[in-house]
Amino acid sequence: MSQYEGFLSPGLSSSIAIIRKDFSAWFNAATTFNTLGMRVLPNVKPNQSSNQQLVASALYVRVLTSFQAAILLAERGLLADARTVVRGAAETAIVLAAVVKEEAVCDLLIDRHYWHHLKLRQAWLNDPQAVTQMTTQEVDAVKAVIANADAEHPKAKTLKRDPVEIATLAQKTGLMALYNVVYRSASGDAAHTSIDSLNRHIRADDQANITGLRFGPDVSDLPATLSDAMSVLGHALHALTEYFKLAQFDDDLAKCVAAWKALGAPADFRPGCSD
């Protein structure tokens, strides 16, 4: 890694090769999940007149895209960022499971859309600093968006908080383990600015004395990160294939899960001891 280019260094390719080799068992398992995910994709053919099918399909594509993004980040040793992406994918997978179970969840997503845009634009107008940076025409345009949203979806202005509650959806779909183990854990140690996430950038000795900052590829919880990513995609695949009646992929998904579980606890893995 170049001193002045960091993770943008062309020389990072050698580091990627080492990481992929040291953790080949986990990357191989993740690749199997990804291959299955890509094989399923062209078989997802939503009815254009069904919001439930269209939303479920889009959610699956989002999960699969995030899964691949997490792998690309993990192989570069960008674990905090990989885990942040996995957290987002976990949220999407939970919403996917909820959508395929109950079509009304699509309405919650519509409520969230209008609630978010109203809240954002109202915040702009209530921020004196933001208003001073806007022209009269821009202020009028923001007000017009608010007026249109009020007319198109009046329910949004009555909402006091985000109508899509991930914990509630996880509980209704039986995915509290995914919510607690992946979503909440990655929130605390990666996505949020927390002591746990900051510790990734601190170098300390055996007595916990800080000796400097740490910048560069990190593999400390790489197996756990890939394991979480596979858990997320596995749940998404299960929900989607069951909903679209793609039973031809059931055995392949079971094999992917079995190979992943056969790797054992991520924390017990030692590079070079397993392949």
Q: What is the DSSP string of 205-255?
A: -TT--EEEE--S---TTHHHHHHHHHHHHHHHHHHHHHHTT-GGGHHHHHH
Please return the burial class of 108, using the count of CB atoms within 10 Å of its CB with bins 0-12, 13-18 and 19+.
Answer: buried
Q: At what angle do helices 24-40 and 51-74 cross, to 10 degrees?
A: 160
Mark the ranges of the chain whose per-residue pLDDT is less than 50: 274-275
Task: Please report whether residue 55 resides in a domain.
Answer: yes
55: burial class by Cβ within 10 Å (0-12, 13-18, 19+)? buried
* 168 in any annotated domain: yes
**Is residue 19 a part of any domain in this protein?**
yes
Residue 157 lies in a domain: no
This prediction's pTM:
0.93
In a domain, 64, yes or no: yes
| pLDDT score, position 1 | 62
Residue 202 phi, psi dihedral angles, 5° rounding: -115, 135
Domain total in the chain = 1
**What pLDDT does 241 receive?**
98
Contact 223, 266 (CB under 8 A): yes
Q: How far is CA 251 from the centre of its chain?
A: 26
Which domain covers residue 37, as residue numbers?
A: 6-104+164-200+214-266
| Structural domain contains residue 99 | yes
pLDDT score recorded for residue 2: 65
pLDDT computed for residue 201 by the predictor: 93
Q: Report the amino acid identity of residue 210.
A: I
Give a yes or no: residue 154 inside a domain: no
pLDDT value at residue 207: 85
Q: Write the DSSP assignment of 27-66 as a string of letters.
A: HHHHHHHHHHHHHHGGG----TT-HHHHHHHHHHHHHHHH
Which pLDDT value is given to residue 275?
Answer: 46
User: How many Å apart are CA 100 and CA 53, to the nearest integer?
Assistant: 8
In a domain, 23, yes or no: yes
